[in-house]
Structure 1
């Protein structure tokens, strides 16, 4: 799940005299009630670092906030970068559409990663595949001169399962329908818009490289093609391996329903899969069988009871049974249920995670099965950068919102009608920059968060999906491969490139970002949230991909083949046989 930037997060109706929106006041009142009944705990430094008070901003100053102007400079280098994006608009949208067509799932983005890498190679970047051992991750580097800053861009390209949709279709119409008389479904699709995310970031990186060439600006531009963002695996592990060390600034964006930036935080998260093992048997003679599916269902039910007394307002807990058997006439011997456990910091995630693990053990005891668990990913909450957000906002304001065609707005309204939403179209304004809500009430997670603790990081959103809709839906997939997505990509690439160029031509801005970053990090020691001995999950690449990218298999950081999970459980006893009655 990505960290999204939605203009609906900011009310434009600030209550007179308070500087807070109605929504913020309601949240404060609700949180105050929670605080008076909660058990007293030591303040979490990882949460305190995200507050404006960490950099000396008082409550009164935050309430009277007005975004500064004049940060973004209309330089010749910036004009070159923006012109490059316009001149290469068709190449850029072609890259998006190619990745959209592939719609490849996490850790298997064979064609998508190659397409993005080839685009950057043609722009003068050196490409190295296999970043942190991931076959589809790559690092693209452009260097000009010596001693200049190192600017990083974030690229992604994985799709989501079950969200296939025809591009530009206003009603649900899967592009890939999977026929199965017992379990029909849909193929994968770009329901989070990562085809656009990686494309716009690659275009911005190439535009900055062109500006540096033309205007003799010393810089190293690094583009990180990251795998498996939807599983929050690629960047979290890469950060733990030092991949993002040495950067001076990092720029990130995500498709959204609005055009906005800010300096809020995100939820930390741990992804964990529980595997229950039982004994298979005929459904018609079930006595003595041990159903692993029963255990998974019991766990799901019991974990729901955590919500009332064990989950704070910033917590999120969601699950899916991703292996529950194939046919009712065979008692499932193996079943798996996966959870995303989210909270405002790693420490709070771990507290909730302990309770979830306890539930799994109770379900195993009740069902007479065995259980094991594996953490597949874990990330921090995001460390914000107010100064970086202000610079990004000034550029967004000067460049203006995406230029949506009549075709794009028509599609958006068709989708809204299909989903039962007001037919308001696409967001065509730049949302006002406002301070984050004083009380963090939770939300999405992002593996960019771990990067944000290593280097000053900015995130922004550009409108790709219709107002009122959500990411991770087929409607987003429809937009990502058609007119709304194309407009969002051009705008996002310009916002990213313009902000990066400002850091090159105005070094004092970069110094300010670093000063704020150092202040926020005071007293916080970042350590990866991944468990000791963690091995990231991977799929074996096809031979042609290894040959194209110059890699060998397996990488050194995983055990291959992986350990097999096989049930060794025994049938359950019903006790001594009953004597026949006479």
Structure 2
């Protein structure tokens, strides 16, 4: 028996020499997190098997193909349209950035994006899959052309408010609470730019198709609540993306790159503990729900050594822990994101987290219940799609970052203790994914990718070395770095979409690869049976403006109340007085 360090060295040697190992076999060697080798077969885990096929490429021998992306009058028109409307495009990004609205409540942001597309000739319908702030915008020219989808998001993150273009932490919205100071929401993942660039690309393709008489249907999906991975996972299960030939997606990043790697599957779950309130000065017999949540958090940390593989992630936050110390918290909630390389592996880890919650409830004499708030698959890659997109990115070139953009980037890097390298001002080489899948982020685009050929790419909006979900990204999103990124991303997506229209062979190759990868795989939503998505009631003005009624038919309203009915804890028989 060798220790863990020696085992990793042995595994790396196996990867680097001898017969090439599959992703499944490498994950077995790195730790199966409770999944036996038998359960790792393609039959038992088709999501992993399909993603495994995508890495069967020797990185040393791979060379990105050339000649896929072709110049055409339609492509030139699409790119020219973006260039001539750059101020409108960057203006939309800035407008959505200013709103900084949270998931499921993007009232003004969704309207701004929908209005941009309506002015470009799209028909807009709000209420996609029952979500008030989700919409589908459609443009059709001619008959018989391909149906292309674009992905739009516009939700911000809590606590990441930041002044635009400022190189140090300076919250734009500061909550002056003497007991719990906090920051307002901000676009720390750059979704203001994400939705804007996708909408601009869709509009550019529509204008080019009309000008050059190219039959096509362009569909733009304004998606709510990506940050909570709710909007698309549920919409896919309701058939919203059916009938598409290809789907184009992008996300703000610290680099200009694309590829055909996968993502992690994920389940989001919230545990609610119910106890009995009482005065903190006379605590005997009270049942603290917060104690239960803290115990669960502590115990779940012990899963990391023996139950969490390198491909897994487990993170949590106590989102309700009480209000004041002299009232024992009667209700407490702790939320987890459980990530792994496939839905099957997520379920194994999730079962262990649920067992921990039950142990915490028993130890604290509270009751616990849990609800799944979202769940998605790992993304199905498309090598041929990524190769086409990459060549367009290379031909168009990196975002045109100004001196102002690089200066802001270096100021942010200095504030964060990072090397002052500025923005990523090149298009990264296209390389095969690492055969050893070591986990990472999740996306609700993943569920779409199992139903229609999908490509994703990143454009540099944040400085080199920084991360998404930070105030520094919010500083950049609608300032000089983000405004350059949004125009470049729109061009990358539009050029690739035009190639799919003007080159039927390219689209056929993408669809053929998708058909081969999904052979024998039946996608089924990871959401539980009877799932109702969480929603907020929209303001009356928004319902009137979008022509919607409340509530939608797919949810119960008002939601069932969560109220503790627990009793005080017994301390046993009364003690006899001492004499």
Same fold (TM over 0.5): yes
1:253-264 matches, cutoff 5 A = 253-264=250-261
1:529 aligns with 2:530: no
Q: Which residue of 1 aligns with 2:4?
A: none
In 2, the alpha carbon distance for the partners of 1:36 and 1:255 equals 32
Kindly indicate whether the alpha-carbon contact (under 8 Å) linking 2:30 and 2:309 is maintained by their aligned counterparts in 1: no
Displacement of 1:19: 9.0
SS of residue paired to 2:125:
strand
- What is the aligned counterpart of 2:159 among 162, 166, 172? 162
Kindly indicate whether the alpha-carbon contact (under 8 Å) linking 2:256 and 2:428 is maintained by their aligned counterparts in 1: yes
In 1, the alpha carbon distance for the partners of 2:313 and 2:519 equals 28
Q: Which residue of 1 aligns with 2:488?
A: 491
1:463 aligns with 2:464: no
SS of residue paired to 1:516:
helix
In 1, the alpha carbon distance for the partners of 2:373 and 2:469 equals 20
Give a deviation string over 1:215-240, Cα, whole Å, max 9, x none: 00000000000000000000000000
1:296-375 matches, cutoff 5 A = 296-375=293-372
Displacement of 1:49: 0.3
In 2, the alpha carbon distance for the partners of 1:171 and 1:315 equals 33
Q: Which residue of 2 aligns with 1:151?
A: 148
Give a deviation string over 1:294-346, Cα, whole Å, max 9, x none: 00000000000111111111010000000000100100000000000000010
Kindly indicate whether the alpha-carbon contact (under 8 Å) linking 1:28 and 1:438 is maintained by their aligned counterparts in 2: no
Q: Which residue of 2 aligns with 1:205?
A: 202
Kindly indicate whether the alpha-carbon contact (under 8 Å) linking 1:31 and 1:439 is maintained by their aligned counterparts in 2: no
Q: Which residue of 2 aligns with 1:241?
A: 238
In 1, the alpha carbon distance for the partners of 2:577 and 2:32 equals 64
1:503-514 matches, cutoff 5 A = 503-514=500-511
- RMSD in angstroms over aligned alpha carbons? 1.9
| Inter-CA distance 253–59: structure 2 relative to 1 (3 Å threshold) | closer
Kindly indicate whether the alpha-carbon contact (under 8 Å) linking 1:28 and 1:439 is maintained by their aligned counterparts in 2: no
Kindly indicate whether the alpha-carbon contact (under 8 Å) linking 1:293 and 1:335 is maintained by their aligned counterparts in 2: yes
Displacement of 1:36: 13
* Unaligned runs of at least 5 residues, structure 1: 1-14
SS of residue paired to 2:263:
coil
SS of residue paired to 2:51:
coil
In 2, the alpha carbon distance for the partners of 1:283 and 1:132 equals 46
Give a deviation string over 1:536-577, Cα, whole Å, max 9, x none: 000000000000000000000000000000000000000001
Q: Which residue of 1 aligns with 2:433?
A: 436
Give a deviation string over 1:452-488, Cα, whole Å, max 9, x none: 0000000000000000000000000000020000000
TM-score of the superposed pair, with normalisation by structure 2: 0.94
Give a deviation string over 1:231-258, Cα, whole Å, max 9, x none: 0000000000000000000000000000
In 2, the alpha carbon distance for the partners of 1:77 and 1:58 equals 35
Displacement of 1:32: 4.0
SS of residue paired to 2:308:
coil
Give a deviation string over 1:159-210, Cα, whole Å, max 9, x none: 0000000000000000000000000000000000000000000000000000
Q: Which residue of 1 aligns with 2:50?
A: 49
In 2, the alpha carbon distance for the partners of 1:108 and 1:90 equals 27
Q: Which residue of 2 aligns with 1:501?
A: 498
Greater than 3 Å deviation, 4+ residue runs: 27-39, 57-60
TM-score of the superposed pair, with normalisation by structure 1: 0.94
SS of residue paired to 1:275:
strand
Q: Which residue of 1 aligns with 2:6?
A: none
Q: Which residue of 1 aligns with 2:451?
A: 454
In 1, the alpha carbon distance for the partners of 2:37 and 2:400 equals 50
In 1, the alpha carbon distance for the partners of 2:34 and 2:188 equals 40
In 2, the alpha carbon distance for the partners of 1:28 and 1:197 equals 36
1:405 aligns with 2:406: no
SS of residue paired to 1:509:
helix
In 1, the alpha carbon distance for the partners of 2:50 and 2:31 equals 22
In 2, the alpha carbon distance for the partners of 1:256 and 1:542 equals 33
SS of residue paired to 2:220:
strand
Kindly indicate whether the alpha-carbon contact (under 8 Å) linking 2:388 and 2:496 is maintained by their aligned counterparts in 1: yes
